Homo-oligomer: A and B are copies of this chain.
Amino acid sequence: MESHGKYISAIYRHMQVLIAAELAPYRIGSGQYIFLMAIASQGRTTQKELSEELLIDKTTTAKAIAKLEAEGYVRREPDPEDNRYQLLQLTEAGYKVVPDVQAALNRVKRKAAKGISDEEYELLLGLLKKVLRNVSE
């Protein structure tokens, strides 16, 4: 009785390794790029929003943001209207690195999707979305 779990796990681990290798030159780890790209695409945001959107534990988010900040890609400043929040935004260096990161991610994606048609890929995305909704509720 075959299950998707084995494949999901193996794909995840291999993608982590591939992405880590691609992003090593920028000193961005496999655990940080999602946050960088999320901030890039939605501008000023908070850790809470990122956690909810990416379905990642808030403590994981905190640590990833701390690393991105240490590398100079993200700036943090307390929200003047509510000091519990830290407003996040990309720095100059952050904006500059985004296209390179995007290109690296595209390379990995092309490698992963080789031999899969656009229709099949859309189908895959749709099914994964459904599975994610199921396991995350």
Q: How far is the CB of A55 from chain B (nearest CB, A)?
A: 5
Cβ–Cβ contact B14 & A136, under 8 A = yes
The number of residues on chain A lying at the interface, defined by a beta carbon within 8 Å of a beta carbon of chain B, is 45
The 3 lowest CB-CB distance pairs between A and B, nearest first, are: A7-B128, A12-B12, A14-B135
Cβ–Cβ contact A113 & B134, under 8 A = yes
Given A3-B105, A55-B14, A8:B128 Cβ within 8 A: yes
Interface of chain A residues 59 through 113 with chain B (CB within 8 A)? 105-106, 108-109, 111-113
In the complex, which residues of chain B have a beta carbon less than 8 angstroms from the beta carbon of A15? Answer: 5, 8-9, 135
Cβ–Cβ contact B14 & A132, under 8 A = yes
Cβ–Cβ contact A109 & B11, under 8 A = no
